[in-house]
Amino acid sequence: MKLNELTIKQAIDGLRKKEFSALDLTESCLDQIARLNPLLNAFLTICNKEAINAAKQADEKLRIGDKSPLLGIPIALKDIYLTKNIRTTASSKVLDNYIPQYDATVVKKLKDAGAIILGKLNCDAWAHGSSGENSDYGPVKNPYNVEYTPGGSSSGSAASVAADMSIASGGTDTGGSIRLPAAFCNVVGLKPTYGRVSRNGIIAMSSSLDSIGHFTKTVEDSALYLNVTAGKDSFDATTPNLPVPDYSKNLNKSIKGTRIGIPKEFFTEGLDKKIKEKTMEAISFFEKQGAEIIDISLPHTDYAIAAYYIIQPAEVSSNLARYDSIRYGNKRSYFGKEAKRRIMLGTFTLSAGYYDAYYKKAMKVRTLIKKDYEEAFKKVDAIITPVSPTLPWKLGEKINDPLKMYLSDIFTVTANLAGIPGLSVPIGIIGPSTSSEQAALPVGMQILGPQFSEELLFNLGHQYEIGNPNKEKPQL
């Protein structure tokens, strides 16, 4: 196994045993980036010198026995994380040459834990999208088949981990932007509870929906990463003053007796038959492990997309108003089509005469969706659904049909509206079919739980992973 293919856990063990150095590990990742980024377009900024210097400093700390939790681990960050003295664009030409003066709270936490920043990752501009195609710097390609989308908006984040260009990566999830690309790229993706990880220094898309999460190669790695990033931040009033547990502590706990809900609204017409089969196989695994499988209903699910695409553009129009080219950034004419579309939709729904008819009604639906989950979690401990109703689609297939693109988030937006955590875990590869157009493409399931139940999600995901090891790697 090459060093860049290691998990966080494997890399930490190897570094502490002096089997290799942080410099060796970092150079292995940088070599992979140099080889594959021209093909995949995952990185917008590559921090070669900074990463090499940070790796040398990590080796000095390792030499004296420093055991910081991510010391020497090379990671990459979605390009809406502010990074001091490192170009940050939000994948938009509006911020083409913007250099932040400070690090986002989550970036500071990662650096303090010893992580090495390899660079900044491509995404849909301002995180507006489900396919990565709305980036002003060109789309990211799926490592499993470069003709297909890796999912969005955190497209580069998922692709970088799937292609072993980074050991882990940071992303954001506003309506599925971590879970969808994680499923499409065969990696683990976590959308934490809203507020569990600080949003300070993350370029805002939709402030009441944005969750700051990450991509890893295993569930255990995801737990180790959240150990570092979670917690109260005085710069973000939405972060609760709750203790951060050791998320890796209960990974091997028995799941016997755990009540898992299967919502009928997620298994209806429109769900790809093969995805349904894979998801039901995963559910069957949990049942064999002693979990209790319970049919449930989340009755307002059908209204989620409509409510989401009123609330989210309304907040987008407010957040993007600050980019006036006076203090920093280019003129507003540099906004892409999707950003303009969402600004106009949001401004319309917030305008006089329409606020009550649209925005206020959408907020009422949001409350009903939240109540649906609260009622469900009185009966079950966790919920399992598919991440997406379809397999990854070909690049260009939906780009001219925004409504069709928006529907790709149909299974993921409810978690953001309710503020609950969701963990996307790979459950296999589908294809190729008899049709020459269908490639072999990854599928994921999402495990949902009540607010601040990440420990349970990691426990369930880890147990599934042990019984169903993810061995499929892209052939690049």
Helix (H) / strand (E) element for 120: namely: strand 116-121
* DSSP string across 123-172: -SGGG--SSSTT-TT-PPPBTTBTTB---SSSHHHHHHHHTTSSSEEEEE
Q: Quick check: helix, strand or coil at residue 398?
A: coil
What gap in Å lies between CA 52 and CA 113, rounded to an integer? 17
Residue 239's Cβ-side half-sphere holds a number of Cα atoms within 13 Å equal to 18
Q: How far apart are CA 154 and CA 305, in angstroms?
A: 19
State the burial class of residue 155 (Cβ atoms within 10 Å of its Cβ: 0-12, 13-18, 19+).
buried
Count CB-CB contacts under 10 A for residue 257: 9
List, by residue number, the catalytic residues.
78, 153, 177
Strands 188-191 and 422-430: antiparallel
Residue 65 CB neighbour total at 10 angstroms: 7
Answer left, alpha or beta for residue 225, where phi above 0 means left and psi between -120 and 50 means alpha.
alpha
* Residues 314/344, Cβ–Cβ less than 8 Å: no
Q: Are 81 and 104 in contact (CB under 8 A)?
A: yes
Cβ neighbourhood burial of 393 (10 Å; 0-12, 13-18, 19+): buried
**429 contacts: CB under 8 Å, gap ≥ 6:** 144, 186, 440, 441, 442, 443, 472
Phi, psi of 375 (to 5 degrees): -70, -40
DSSP assigned state of 381: S
CA neighbours within 13 Å on the CB side: how many for 90?
Answer: 25
Q: For the chain, what is the radius of gyration of the CA atoms?
A: 21
Residues 118/33, Cβ–Cβ less than 8 Å: yes
CB 221 within 8 A of CB 7: yes
Length of the chain: 476
Question: Taking a C-beta distance cutoff of 8 angstroms, is the pair 180, 409 a contact?
Answer: yes
